[in-house]
Amino acid sequence: MKPRVILFHKPFGVLSQFTDEGSGYPTLADYIDVPKVYAAGRLDRDSEGLLVLTDDGKLQARIASPKFKKSKVYWVQVERIPDDAALEALRRGVVLKDGKTRPAKVRRMEAPSPLFPRDPPVRFRKSVPDCWLELTITEGKNRQVRRMTAHVGHPTLRLIRAQVGDWHLGGLRPGEWREA
C-alpha cells in the first residue's frame, strides 16, 4: 500500500504536533483532520513553512533522520547584510555547542514571492537593514538554522522552510495542506 504523504504550510505560532499538552497554542489538529499521520521532523513554533506528514513510520524516519541527509531548504530573513565571509563560514559549517554543522549551501536572495503576512509581523527597524538568504542543510539539530545565522552575526528574524527533499511548498498558503 502506498504511504500517505501530506504537505502542510505550517503557520507561525502553530506547534508541529497534534496535541498542545496544555500550552494553549494551536496544533496540527486545528488544521489537519486526517487519522494516523504524523509529522516527519519538526518546525519550531516560531518558524513557518513546509511540514511533511505521513502514515508510514519508515518514510517518516527517512525524512527526519540526519543519517539519510535529506536536504531542507529554508528562506531566512536575517538582521543586517551578511558579507562574503559570513556566507563562507556557513558553507564550511560552523561550530555550535552541540558540534560542527555539516556544510550548508547558502545564497542571498530577494524576499520570497509570495511572502504571506505574519502575525505578529517581524519587527522593523529603520536603522538596521535586513536580508533574505536561501539556506540548504542536510541535518536538523534543534533550532539549527537560527543558531547558525546568529553564530555568524546575523540573527534570524523570520524562518520559512520551503522544501524537504523533493517536496516543495508550492502554492500552499499558511494553514493549507495537500496530498503529495
What's the pLDDT band for 106 if we cut at 50, 70, 90?
very high
What domains, with CATH codes, occur in the chain? 5-65+170-179 (3.30.70.580), 71-164 (3.30.70.1560)
| Nearest C-alpha neighbor of 6 from the set 29, 40, 30 | 40
Residues annotated as part of the active site: 44
The torsion angles phi and psi of 89, rounded to 5 degrees, stand at -60, -40
User: pLDDT by residue (tens digit) across 13-44?
Assistant: 999 999 988 889 999 999 999 999 999 988 99
How far is 115 from 107, CA to CA, in rounded Å?
18
73-93 confidence digits (pLDDT tens): 999 999 999 999 999 999 999
**Cα(102)–Cα(7) distance, rounded to whole angstroms?**
26
What number of CA atoms fall less than 13 Å from residue 23's CA on the CB side? 13
Residue 65 pLDDT grade (very low, low, confident, very high; cuts 50, 70, 90): confident
pLDDT in tens, 127-169: 889 999 999 999 888 899 999 999 999 999 999 999 999 999 9
The pTM assigned to this predicted structure is 0.94
Type of residue numbered 164: V
